[in-house]
Structure 1
Amino acid sequence: MRRNRNQSRQSATPQPIQTAFIESLDQEGRGVAHVDGKTIFIDGALPQEHVSYQSHHVKHTFEVANVVQVFKQSNQRVKPQCRHFGICGGCKLQHLDFAAQVAAKQRLLESDFKHIGKVKPVNMLPPLYGPTWGYRHKARLSVKYVEKKQRVLVGFNEKATRFVSDMNSCEVLVPEVSALIQPLQEMILQLSLRDKLPQIELAVGEAINHHPVIVLIFRIMAGLTSEDEQLLKVFADTHQVQMWTQTKGPDTIMPFYPNATQLEAHASNGFGAQLQYSLPEFGLTYPFKPNEFTQVNPQINQVMIRRAVQLLSPQADEKIADFFCGIGNFTLPIARSGAQVLGLEGLANLVERANESAQLNQIKYVKFGVADLFKMTEASLTELGRFDKWLVDPPRDGAFELVKAITADNAPKRIVYVSCNPATLARDAGVLVNEKGYTLAAAGVINMFPHTAHVESIALFTLKDA
């Protein structure tokens, strides 16, 4: 059969080991080299290193490889703190000095602005840092029963595979959650449905009585026996965690132990308390459900919101829109200024939670609504009315339709754009600057996910002659 020139070639025999000089890092944290006209992406290699590598994925114009040996080591290479680094796919940059990680992300953001958006920020903002370890308050862990070994694996997937890492701790998870990995493996092995439990989603809220509120959602594909139920309850009591279950879609997520009635009765203690996080600078508290979107790094979230509000500079006489508002993470701090704020979000359950938080925190001058912002048009945007400023915090797909819908009749004088994908931010920046009359006044990275290649960033756009 003739092979398409773009079709990958994975040989049954190992590819030859070759050498290369590493020029830079790509968006996935891999070293980038060029050999015989092809781009080689080498996992585990760092810029300015001379390495040998072996490809495992070959295409016509590029190859993906693993480093075999480092001949000349970067002075920014460090010893990974996690014993599972190199196998677990949760972190890719533990071998790179922390400050160098942030600098690499800043360079990546600048490069995307230049090559994708054809724009350049007037000012580059200082990067925002947070805790480097034990920062992750939300995660999805895979579960796999290995019948031959009579073992259960609980952890992140291995690099570039669907296999579950053989791990018993995690340096980026909250320490109290990391300590649960091995006990979970031992407990699940005793369950009748150990081979029908593919995932555990976890969420951690602020500590009450010096213990974080921890919720574990067990994705179960079969019914629990009475013995299973007892095992789960004993585990919950022993480790002071809440057990929830999910049998099908997200609407089937519900508390198992303590159950809903018990949670209400014990809401004042850490075991039965509702998940929540706070923004002390703004005097705000946000309750949330374990499956609802919140930032995984609450400490850096506080710093990010401070910068966003500073850049937006909301005033009491202004009307401000918060697009992709979620549970009101930015909306309520903006509303503290006295500005009238409209928060729009595509998911009704998040809007419901945002309204609850506004009421709980006694926030005036704020409204929330449900809208599909990926289908925004000039007409539908104009119908919302004129806003002085926008805060935009979209998912990875960005806010292309929203920024394309800007006209002279609905253009805000200032936009603060928070992004979890520098490529789509750069694309949307190109529209705002090259088509809609904005200046990219400032931009910078937010290290929300230390030791990973994930790049969170923030940008300020100002309307020319506004």
Structure 2
Amino acid sequence: MPELTIERQSHDGRGIARQKGKTTFVEGALAGETVQARITKKHRRFDEAVCEEILTPSPQRIEPDCEYYAKCGGCSLQHLGLEQQREVKRDALVDQLQRFGKIEHIPLHEPLLDKSWGYRRKARLGVKWNRHGELIIGFREKASPHLTPIQHCKVLMPQLSALIPSLYELIPELESKKTIGHLELAQGDEGSAIVVRHLKKLSHRDLTLWQGWAQTHNTRLYLQQGDAHSLTSPDHEDAQELHYKLEGLKLAFLPNDFVQVNPAINAQMVQRALEWLAPTSEDVVLDLFAGFGNFSLPVARHAAKVVGIEGEQALVNRAKENAASNGIENAEFYRADLSQSFKDLPWAKQGYNLLILDPPRTGAQNICQQIAQFKVKRLVYVSCNPSTLARDSAILVQQGYKLQKTCIMDMFPHTTHVESMALFERA
């Protein structure tokens, strides 16, 4: 195994070393350390490796707080202190915007921060049986298809983490125990839920066992077979929704909906978006990738009108229901594939003053290339990938916008995920 000296951190938290003139990205290594590393993948221009032994540790290295850290692929930055984690994420954002966004001065604002454990209100757990016939419930191991068996999870909300041991007791009792694919846990402001993904119809006995477990643990039970987007609730004719409160509103969602999993950071994020956009009663706002109204509905209370566009019809329907249940009449929602041209769609021909972009990791390249047609004066871009934010920022600058403010959001402490917000104004 090669002995490497780590020069700096990459934007995804790995250590960067050079060996015989070739860059090597080392999982689990920190800047300033000397390590022995095992090469896992060779590429033409760089190699990937895993730290096997630390010969000279960094003074910033700490003992991970989670007993599953060595195997679990989830919270892979635990060996770095929380403040240093946030510095790595901030530096990654700045580096990407400067190198690929071609923006020289990065106007950084205060980060959005909250507690680092017990923050996550949703998670998917894999379910498998090993060759010894032992049940495994957990998350995928680092760089492996195998699962790390866990009895608890420190980043999950305590109410959800506490459910895991009882699942080890229930599942072996099921006739269909080998057909459970995964479990999804979700927490609302008032109650938790579990989605049981099963490959064949549950027997009456198994259904009764699941219902008994759900009642004992005061958890709503949902079943999912076949279509990944369909849920049934055996105790109700229709699936009953969870909800959370935000800016004085009550937003309903189902446990298989996309939802911001860190409620404290989500609340700060929406508040900052309102501050940066500064909508008035004369503004018409466009919200792209609107989901079930997380941004649209709080903004609608300050604007003349909000139009939300979302790719999933189920979320469009939920957004409309959330608007109605909160008495919001100035918000409209439509389904559209935002990866395609939309200039001829009726909603795209309306006039807008302000824009919210909250795209997936792939970013919003197609939208930014068409942004000129809207002529919005300000736009807030919410990013879960600094690389695509940087790429799209360069396009926005070409379209006549200037980066006015940006910040990181520590949405996923102890992980390498870099979440950020950016405000652009038309020059």
TM-score, normalization by structure 1: 0.88
Q: 1:200 aligns with which of 161, 183, 199?
A: 183
The answer to whether the aligner puts 1:143 opposite 2:107 as a matched pair is: no
Contact 2:287 2:309 in 1 (8 A): yes
Cα offset for 1:28? 3.3
Partner of 1:234: 212
Q: 1:153 aligns with which of 120, 128, 136?
A: 136
Partner of 2:243: 276
The answer to whether the aligner puts 1:185 opposite 2:163 as a matched pair is: no
- Structure 2 SS opposite 1:237: helix
Q: Structure 2 CA distance, aligned partners of 1:455 and 1:241?
A: 32
Cα offset for 1:381? 8.4
Partner of 1:45: 29
Cα offset for 1:383? 4.4
Q: Structure 1 CA distance, aligned partners of 2:203 and 2:342?
A: 52
Q: Structure 2 CA distance, aligned partners of 1:124 and 1:303?
A: 16
Contact 2:94 2:106 in 1 (8 A): no
Instruction: Rate the CA distance shift 1:122–1:169 in 2: closer, same or farther, 3 A.
Output: closer
Contact 2:288 2:357 in 1 (8 A): yes
The answer to whether the aligner puts 1:440 opposite 2:423 as a matched pair is: no
Higher mean displacement: 115-124 or 376-385? 376-385
Cα offset for 1:226? 2.7
Q: Structure 1 CA distance, aligned partners of 2:70 and 2:202?
A: 36
Partner of 1:250: 228
- Structure 1 SS opposite 2:149: coil
- Structure 1 SS opposite 2:214: helix
Cα offset for 1:295? 0.4
In the alignment of these two chains, the number of paired residues is 427
| CA deviation vs aligned residue, 1:250-270 (integer Å, no higher than 9, x gap) | 3432113x3337x8xxxxxxx
Q: Structure 1 CA distance, aligned partners of 2:124 and 2:354?
A: 35
Cα offset for 1:406? 2.6
Contact 2:85 2:414 in 1 (8 A): yes
What is the letter of the counterpart of residue 241 of structure 2? Q
Cα offset for 1:78? 1.4
| CA deviation vs aligned residue, 1:143-191 (integer Å, no higher than 9, x gap) | 0012x43321111111111101022111101112112222212211221
- Structure 1 SS opposite 2:189: strand
Higher mean displacement: 451-460 or 231-240? 231-240
The answer to whether the aligner puts 1:118 opposite 2:81 as a matched pair is: no
Q: Structure 1 CA distance, aligned partners of 2:281 and 2:167?
A: 51
Partner of 1:419: 383
Partner of 2:415: 452
Moved over 4 A (4+): 377-383
Q: Structure 2 CA distance, aligned partners of 1:87 and 1:359?
A: 46
Cα offset for 1:378? 4.6
Q: 1:352 aligns with which of 317, 322, 328?
A: 317
Contact 2:361 2:384 in 1 (8 A): yes
Superposition RMSD in Å: 1.8
Correspondence list, 1:359-378, <5 A: 359-378=324-343
What is the letter of the counterpart of residue 383 of structure 2? S
The unaligned stretches of length 5 or more in structure 2 are none
Instruction: Rate the CA distance shift 1:141–1:120 in 2: closer, same or farther, 3 A.
Output: farther
Q: Structure 2 CA distance, aligned partners of 1:380 and 1:353?
A: 22
- Structure 2 SS opposite 1:308: helix
Partner of 1:6: none
The answer to whether the aligner puts 1:132 opposite 2:95 as a matched pair is: no
Q: Structure 1 CA distance, aligned partners of 2:173 and 2:23?
A: 48
Cα offset for 1:233? 2.0
Q: Structure 1 CA distance, aligned partners of 2:230 and 2:426?
A: 46
Contact 1:151 1:185 in 2 (8 A): no
Cα offset for 1:90? 1.2
Higher mean displacement: 310-319 or 383-392? 383-392
Q: 2:77 aligns with which of 82, 90, 93?
A: 93
- Structure 1 SS opposite 2:393: helix
Cα offset for 1:450? 0.7
Q: Structure 1 CA distance, aligned partners of 2:348 and 2:20?
A: 56
- Structure 2 SS opposite 1:405: helix
The answer to whether the aligner puts 1:56 opposite 2:40 as a matched pair is: yes
Cα offset for 1:223? 2.4
- Structure 2 SS opposite 1:260: coil
What is the letter of the counterpart of residue 423 of structure 2? L
Partner of 1:410: 374
| CA deviation vs aligned residue, 1:66-105 (integer Å, no higher than 9, x gap) | 2122222222211111100020111111111111111111
What is the letter of the counterpart of residue 452 of structure 1? T
Correspondence list, 1:153-172, <5 A: 153-172=136-155
Partner of 1:385: 350
Partner of 2:93: 109
What is the letter of the counterpart of residue 429 of structure 1? S
What is the letter of the counterpart of residue 60 of structure 2? Q
Q: Structure 2 CA distance, aligned partners of 1:459 and 1:160?
A: 32
| CA deviation vs aligned residue, 1:87-126 (integer Å, no higher than 9, x gap) | 0111111111111111111111111112222124551111
What is the letter of the counterpart of residue 59 of structure 1? H
Q: Structure 2 CA distance, aligned partners of 1:401 and 1:61?
A: 29
Partner of 1:73: 57
| CA deviation vs aligned residue, 1:308-347 (integer Å, no higher than 9, x gap) | 1111010111111111111111111111114311111111
| CA deviation vs aligned residue, 1:187-242 (integer Å, no higher than 9, x gap) | 112212222112111211113xxxxx111111111222233123212211221212
| CA deviation vs aligned residue, 1:38-80 (integer Å, no higher than 9, x gap) | 2112111111212121222233332222212222222221111
Q: Structure 2 CA distance, aligned partners of 1:381 and 1:395?
A: 24
